[in-house]
C-alpha cells in the first residue's frame, strides 16, 4: 500500500482571509484558495500549512477583523490544515522586534488553543528579529524553515 503524503505550504495568505472578512461567505471554503485546498485534500489527501501575516502590507486589514467563525472553520479541518504566523508584513521593517512580538502575541490570542498550529514556520523573507525564535519554539514549533538554495541579499 502506497503511503505517499504530500505536504503543501503557502505563504502570505492574509489576502484570502481579508477576502473572507469582506465578502462574508457562509463558509471560508467558499473563498477560491480555501476551496481549492479542500478539493486537493479530498482528491489527493494533501496536508497543508498556511503561513499568515497579522496585517496586510497597507495595514488596512488585520486578523483581528476576521470573523471568529472562519478561524473555527479552519481549525475544524485541523487534521490536514494548519496555520502559523509568517512574520511582519513590511519589507523595510520585518526585523522590528517590538512589532514582531505585538503581532505574534495578537496572532496567538486568535489562533492558539483552538487546535494545533503548524509545527513548522517559514518567516517572511526568511528573516525574523533576534530572539524571536525562542518565542516561536515555546508554542509547539519544531522546525524553522529556510531556503534550500543560497539567495542573493
The tens digit of pLDDT for each residue in 64-118 reads 999 999 999 999 999 999 988 877 676 656 567 788 888 888 988 998 888 888 7
The confidence band for 126, taking pLDDT boundaries of 50, 70 and 90, is low
pTM for the full model? 0.82
Q: Note the Cα 35 to chain centre separation in Å.
A: 16
Asked whether the predicted pLDDT for residue 1 surpasses 60, the reply is no
At CA 44, angle to CA 50 and CA 69, rounded to 5? 40
pLDDT in the model for residue 34: 97
- Cα–Cα distance measured from residue 80 to residue 86, given in angstroms and rounded to the nearest whole number: 19
Inter-residue contact 117 to 84 (CB < 8 Å):
yes
The three three-digit cell numbers of residue 81, written as one number: 490544515
Rounded-to-10 torsion of CA 83, 88, 92, 95: -110
Amino acid at each position: 500500500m502506497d503511503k505517499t503524503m504530500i505536504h503543501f505550504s503557502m505563504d502570505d495568505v492574509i489576502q484570502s482571509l481579508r477576502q473572507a472578512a469582506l465578502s462574508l461567505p457562509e463558509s471560508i471554503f467558499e473563498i477560491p484558495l480555501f476551496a481549492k485546498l479542500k478539493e486537493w485534500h479530498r482528491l489527493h489527501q494533501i496536508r497543508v500549512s498556511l503561513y499568515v501575516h497579522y496585517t496586510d502590507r497597507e495595514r488596512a486589514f488585520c486578523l483581528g477583523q476576521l470573523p471568529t467563525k472562519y478561524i473555527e472553520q479552519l481549525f475544524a479541518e485541523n487534521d490536514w490544515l494548519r496555520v502559523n504566523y509568517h512574520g511582519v508584513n513590511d519589507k523595510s521593517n520585518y526585523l522590528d522586534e517590538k512589532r514582531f512580538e505585538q503581532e505574534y502575541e495578537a496572532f496567538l490570542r486568535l489562533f492558539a488553543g483552538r487546535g494545533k498550529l503548524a509545527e513548522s514556520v517559514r518567516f517572511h523573507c526568511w528573516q525574523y528579529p533576534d530572539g524571536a525564535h525562542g518565542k516561536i519554539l515555546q508554542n509547539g514549533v519544531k522546525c524553522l524553515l529556510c531556503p534550500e538554495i543560497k539567495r542573493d541579499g
